[in-house]
């Protein structure tokens, strides 16, 4: 992912992780594949720090378990994570509406700005 994408997509990727971790415990490799399916090419050097960050801020909690005979660190959402995801969803819905408006609201109060 290039730096422009990084700036814009990180919040979306975090939300993505949270929504899947709400459904079931997730581990890094499966999450990378899922993100790839959505067109985010994200490697372990990016995803693992992101997962650790979500754990450090209390939105995810990790534990070890075996998945297909391999010991994996799994992440599940916390109750704080669920609340954060619910609030973020409202914001994404609002952003989505505005992104698709033909004429987003002018905010500068200038009459002929950019004309
Ligand atoms: Zn997904």
Tens-digit pLDDT profile for the chain (115 aa)? 666 777 889 999 999 999 999 999 999 999 999 999 999 999 999 999 999 999 999 999 999 999 889 999 999 999 999 999 999 999 999 999 999 998 888 899 887 655 5
Say what the pLDDT of residue 109 is: 87
Determine the distance separating the centroid of ligand 1 and the alpha carbon of 82, expressed in angstroms: 16
Query: Domain with 36 in it: what CATH number?
Result: 1.10.10.10
Q: How far is the CA of 15 from the centre of ligand 1 (A)?
A: 10
**pTM for this one?**
0.86
**What single string gives the DSSP state of each residue in 28-91?**
HHHHHHHHHHTT----HHHHHHHHHHHHHTTSEEEEEEEETTEEEEEEEE-HHHHHHHHHHHHH
Distance in Å, CA 87 to ligand 1 centroid: 18
Is the residue at 113 inside a domain? no
Residue 109 within a domain: no
- pLDDT, residue 38, reads 92
Q: Calculate how far, in angstroms, residue 27's C-alpha sits from the geometric centre of ligand 1.
A: 13
What spacing in Å lies between the alpha carbon of 29 and ligand 1's midpoint? 13
Residue 30 lies in a domain: yes
Q: Is residue 94 part of a domain?
A: yes
Determine, yes or no, domain membership for 112. no
Question: What is the number of structural domains in the chain?
Answer: 1
> What does the pLDDT read at residue 94?
96
* Domain, as residue range, for 78: 3-99
The answer to whether residue 77 sits within a structural domain is yes
Ligand 1 centroid–CA 44 distance in Å is 17
């Amino acid at each position: 992912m290039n730096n422009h994408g990084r700036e814009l997509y990180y919040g979306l990727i975090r939300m993505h992780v949270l929504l899947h971790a709400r459904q079931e415990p997730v581990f890094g490799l499966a999450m990378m594949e899922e993100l790839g399916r959505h067109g985010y090419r994200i490697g372990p050097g990016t995803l693992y720090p992101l997962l650790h960050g979500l754990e450090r801020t209390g939105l995810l909690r990790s534990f070890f378990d075996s998945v297909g005979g391999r010991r994996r660190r799994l992440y599940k959402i916390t109750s704080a994570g669920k609340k954060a995801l619910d609030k973020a969803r409202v914001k994404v819905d609002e952003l989505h509406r505005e992104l698709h408006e033909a004429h987003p609201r002018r905010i500068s109060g200038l009459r002929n700005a950019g004309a």
